[in-house]
Structure 1
Amino acid sequence: MEAEADGFILYLATERGLSAAYQLSVRQTLDALAEYLKKRSLPLTDVGTDELSEFLAARKGSGLIASSLRIATVHVKVFFRWLAARGKLPMDPAEPLLSPRPDQTLPETLHGTEVARLLDSIDPGQFLGRRDRAMLELFYSSGLRLSELCSAKLENLDLEEHFIRVTGKGNKTRIVPVGRRAEEAVEDYLKHERKTLVKKRSSSHIFLSVRGGKLSPDRVRQVVKERAALAGIEQNVYPHLLRHSFATHLLEGGADLRVIQELLGHADIATTQIYTHVDGARLKAVHKKFHPRG
């Protein structure tokens, strides 16, 4: 099992070009499966659909939520499909497995006034104020993922043409517009503050730490939380919340769902459709509040 799992992870990295985070997620599922089979003294060649169903049921029983169980099921199905395609197994025992239905939980968002309150509360005159303001403006203006913002480089930013080129999931590159307010904040940061953070070994990443290095995702999360607290926002604020707010506010403003899909870099329109539920929930709340028989 260990050798086959190693081979599969290598395949994901070299042939599929999938991210290290995805590889780690798959590895965790396969390690859990290996432990499950080891306890039952069951070799990989003897694994059938029933055994895989029991494994996934055990994962659910251990407290794995539906969305995580769905991901684990996909990992198992892709792994065994890969084994069967390479003749390592006579058949694919995972093919009949059904993925659990995803939770219909709606993404959290910030109200437009709260976003404005958060962004306008950051004083550019304070130390790192320009950097932090530019980061949060760019999150909300362009709907970037945390990893995309941390990896954004100067050579991929074109303020004259009002866009930034980012590399997202699956190593896919897309071009995203940069709004006027974000553009002004980024330009102000680049002109007045970034040069003070640059050290001899600094890279071309747009956002730098006080030591001149690339900002880590954990540090950006911390900055967002600190800025939200200073703005007096009680809601739990995190980078992806600004991405959710970006998409929701676009939909509320009348943007086409396909355009939002393109801006977010979603491979499947079904992923973007969660925002239609958010908009529907808002409409119901407005109807209930203002309709005489709501």
Structure 2
Amino acid sequence: MAAVVDDFERHLALERALSPHTVRAYLGDVVALLVHLAAGTAADATVESIDLAGLRSWLGAQHAAGAERTTLARRTAAARTFTAWATRTGILTEDPGLRLVAPKAHRTLPAVLRADQAEAAMSAAELGAREGDPVALRDQAVVELLYATGVRVAELCGLDLDDVDYSQRVIRVLGKGSRERVVPFGVPAERAVRRWVEQGRTTLVGDRSHRALFLGARGGRLDTRTARRVVHDVVGAVPGAVDTGPHGLRHSAATHLLEGGADLRTVQELLGHATLATTQLYTHVTVERLKAIHDRTHPRS
């Protein structure tokens, strides 16, 4: 079983080009499935013995243990991916995952900043950078670029100096599944990034910096945990704003684009969503905001 799991890991990482986080999640689910099957059957249970009844038994045990519908949906997807791969490679003679029904995950509306709150957060970051401290300059560039582009935090931290085209005001991003896309940004983000590169980055650069656009305090590439802390701190300076991180800025950017008149296809391309269904979630957010304004302001609401 260990050898099969190792082969499956290579498939996810190399052939599917999934992120390290997704690979870890899928492997954890598959290992849990195999442990469950081995515990409930004979000691010589093998991967070849996986069937639909075993898959349903595993999900049933997860449900009984209190797993949420979203978790069950993800684990079902992991099991299906594994059995499909095992069938293609000849480990299984037929794919039991084809008949495995996934529970429908609840899709929750993301918490977003109002446009004025996002503006206040950017102003707070600019205020902190006025004295020219290199870390403060970096933090301003980080929040400006995250909000301007709506990129994922891992995509931001993975940017190199050569990925920024100042003349066109675009960045080249390597997203999920190694899909590359080009995302525009505005003048405020350009000013912040230029100032960081010209005045802040030169102070922090070291042997481990290489071509990374954003650096940590010790000169290495900025990690996602630090970027999340930066966003929480900046947004936390805005009175009444929801506590949010980089993903909240991504949600906010998408919502504000739609509220400003952008079409769904454009927002899908900017955010790097594989399907339009994911982008459509943001239309629900804008409708909810419109309803809240209507309830608060209309005399006959």
Correspondence for 1:125: 130
Aligned counterpart, 1:283: 290
Instruction: Give identity over the alignment, percent.
Output: 39
| Aligned-partner Cα distance in 2 for 1:62–1:28 | 17
Amino acid at match of 2:193: V
Give yes or no for the alignment of 1:31 onto 2:31: yes
How far apart are 1:83 and its partner, in Å?
A: 1.3
Distance 2:208 2:225 in 1: 21
Task: Tell me by how many angstroms 1:156 deviates.
Answer: 0.8
2:52 corresponds to 1:49: yes
Q: In the alignment, which of 61, 65, 74 is matched to residue 62 of structure 1?
A: 65
Whole-angstrom CA distance in 2 between matches of 1:189 and 1:88: 53
Give the deviation of 1:232 after TM superposition: 4.2
List gaps (5 residues or longer) in structure 2.
none
Which of 107, 112, 116 pairs up with 1:113? 116
Q: Secondary structure at the match of 1:273?
A: helix
Aligned match of 1:218: 225
Query: How far did 1:46 drift?
Result: 2.8
1:2–1:34 CA contact under 8 A, matched in 2:
no
Q: Which residue identity is paired with 1:120?
A: S
Structure 1 stretches of 4+ moved >6 Å: none
Q: Residues 62-211 of structure 1: matches in 2 within 5 Å?
A: 62-122=65-125, 123-126=128-131, 127=133, 128-211=135-218
Alignment-derived partner of residue 18 in structure 2: 18
Alignment RMSD, CA only? 1.5
Matched residue type, 1:31: V
Give the number of aligned pairs.
294
Greater CA drift, 40-49 or 25-34: 40-49
* TM-score normalised to structure 1 length: 0.95
Q: Residue 234 of structure 1: CA displacement?
A: 5.2
CA deviation vs aligned residue, 1:112-132 (integer Å, no higher than 9, x gap): 111111110122134222111
Encode CA deviations 1:211-264: one digit per residue, 9 max, x unaligned: 111111111111222223344455212111000000000011110000000000
Q: CA deviation at 1:285?
A: 1.6
Inter-partner Cα distance in structure 2 for 1:239 and 1:51: 39
| Residues 233/282 of structure 1: CA separation in 2 closer, same or farther (3 Å cut) | closer
Q: Which amino acid aligns with 1:12?
A: L
1:97, 1:159 → 2: CA distance? 49
